[in-house]
Amino acid sequence: MRLFQAAAILVAATPALAHDYAVGGITVDHPFVFATPPGAPVAGGYMTITNEGADDVLLSAEIPEEVAGIVQLHEMTNEDGVMRMSEVAGGIELPSGETVTLAQGGLHVMFMNLAGPLEEGAEIPATLTFRDAGRLDVVFDVEARGARDGAGHGGMDHESGTAPASR
């Protein structure tokens, strides 16, 4: 019986340990943002969203005004060798049965008009709003730059405003 109880506790704790959040058929895996230096005006928020339900759309993200004055859903595109960033009109499409990754150099949540530096180890509460699944409260972990493999490949460095050097 104790083994069963221990297993039940471990299974119940797994989503929290994995930093996953779910609403309806949507699962959000490990939202995070990189720590920023003093004076940085912006930061990008990243995560993986899996949709096991019907087609849906991530419409918006909200964070406390004490962190950033504006939050938008953005995408980076490469047009003739020039990286361009723009707000995603109508939200981020989440096709049924697919996983959409928000990462540097592509789709992401843009935190603008930062009130101060985002310090490693901090947590930023946020609410994501999906067209059909509804609202989902998540927490963005503030991580050291380079803490996540692949997160820094390509795209503009939002914190410094520079594009990566050519390889």
- What pTM, to 2 d.p., does this model score? 0.78
For residue 125, pLDDT over 80 is answered with yes
8 or 88: which leads in pLDDT: 88
Cα of first residue to Cα of last residue in the chain, in angstroms, is 58
Q: What is the pLDDT of residue 17?
A: 46
Where in 6-150 does DSSP place strands (E)? 20-23, 26-34, 42-51, 56-62, 68-79, 82-87, 92-94, 98-102, 108-114, 123-130, 134-143
> In this structure, what are the phi and psi dihedrals at residue 127, rounded to the nearest 5 degrees?
-125, 125
Q: Which fold has domain 20-140?
A: Immunoglobulin-like (2.60.40)
pLDDT tens digits, residue range 11-63? Answer: 343 344 457 999 999 999 999 999 999 999 999 999 999 999 999 999 999 99
pLDDT tens digits, residue range 77-90? Answer: 888 989 999 999 99
Nearest residue to 108 via CA among 69, 67, 159: 159
* Eight-state DSSP code of residue 37: -
